Structure 1
Amino acid sequence: MTRETLLRAATQVILDKGVEALTLDAVAHQAGVSKGGLLYHFPNKDVLIVGMVEQLIQDFETALQEEFDRDDAPGTPGQWLRAYIQATLRISKQSLALIARLSSIGVDKPELLECAEAYEQRWRQRLKTDGLNPRTATIIQLAIDGLWFSEVFKLGSPDEPLRTQVVQSLLAMTRKPE
């Protein structure tokens, strides 16, 4: 039994039944393992949730690197930010649903999301060294994060084609260093 299998099982429990149904017993049952097998990898529910958050971040980091490597203007200002925009757009509907549900846990237990803060700091540092005016880069990042937030929580997300136009405008802004 791998950690990944257990994390997928935990994700499925949350997506199918909600955060309140996330118990070690439910995850073990979903994964088809004994509770002891689960406890070997995740000694308690908080460690399991941190593992889920870390997996989401790692998936985003992988997408971010893929988009960075695929950029059509490598080595130019804004390359990292273009990758950030594209990676943000690649987040699956399932991941968006999981993030929305996990955020309710983070409100009560902010220590569970400390791992996310380390990545956020690293991303802010990359933003500062991407070759764009820091003010413009911050505006772009906040805009794509806002679009992502609206889609996670289904609050005021623009419909097509406006969403596509917004994204295209943000990408164009990464190509105009001030």
Structure 2
Amino acid sequence: MRKDELLNAAEDLLADQGAGCLTLSAVAERAGVSKGGLLYHFATKEALIKALIERLIADFDELVAAQGQASYTRSYLAATLAAIRTGRLRRWAVVTGAAGDPQLLAPLREAMCRWHREGMQTEADPMSAQIVRLTCEGLWDVATHDPGIYDEAQYEELHRRLLALLSPL
């Protein structure tokens, strides 16, 4: 079994039953493998959570890169809206909720700092870019707790208005 399939099983378990039910035995059962098969890839629960977080970061980095926008922050905004619209945001909530140890979230904190530094260093108006990226994080949080809070027209309007903040001064 591939690591991604095991990580998918862990995410599904988290989404269905919460962080309290995340055990290596439960993940192995959900994935349809022996516990030994899971341990071959992930020796501890912490290693599994670390891999889940690293996958989230890589997934978002790929999503940003795939946007092909004129600026980093425009790509960041488009990637955020794509993650919300496709349901990929669910992964953030379930995985970060499982990381009870703040040290497990260290790679995510580092990625957030990197994402913010990138925009601060490359944008014509760094402060407006910072406002847009912070708004994106607020959208992540709101959409995680209530995925249906905004309809497509509202997301389009948010997108339009946030892009207007990024227009040259």
Structure 2 length-normalised TM: 0.88
Identity %: 35
> 1:34, 1:104 → 2: CA distance?
25
The structure 1 segments of at least 4 consecutive aligned residues displaced by more than 6 Å after TM superposition are none
Any residues of structure 2 matched to 1:119-138 within 5 Å, and which?
Answer: 119-138=111-130
Q: How does 1:23-172 map to 2 (within 5 A)?
A: 23-68=23-68, 71=69, 74=70, 79-91=71-83, 92-93=86-87, 95-106=88-99, 108-154=100-146, 157-172=149-164
* SS in structure 2 at match of 1:129: helix
Gaps of 5+ in 2: none
The aligned amino acid for 1:97 is R
Q: Cα distance, 1:147 vs. partner? A: 1.6
Secondary structure at the counterpart of residue 122 of structure 2: coil
Report how far residue 125 of structure 1 moved. Answer: 1.8
Structure with the higher fraction of residues in helix conformation:
2
Contact 1:14 1:98 in 2 (8 A): no
List gaps (5 residues or longer) in structure 1: none
Q: Tell me the distance in 2 between the aligned counterparts of 1:134 and 1:28.
A: 46
Q: Structure 2: which amino acid aligns with 1:98? A: R
Using structure 1 for the length normalisation, give the TM-score.
0.84
Q: CA RMSD in A?
A: 2.0
Task: Provide the rounded CA distance (Å) in 2 between the counterparts of 1:14 and 1:158.
Answer: 25
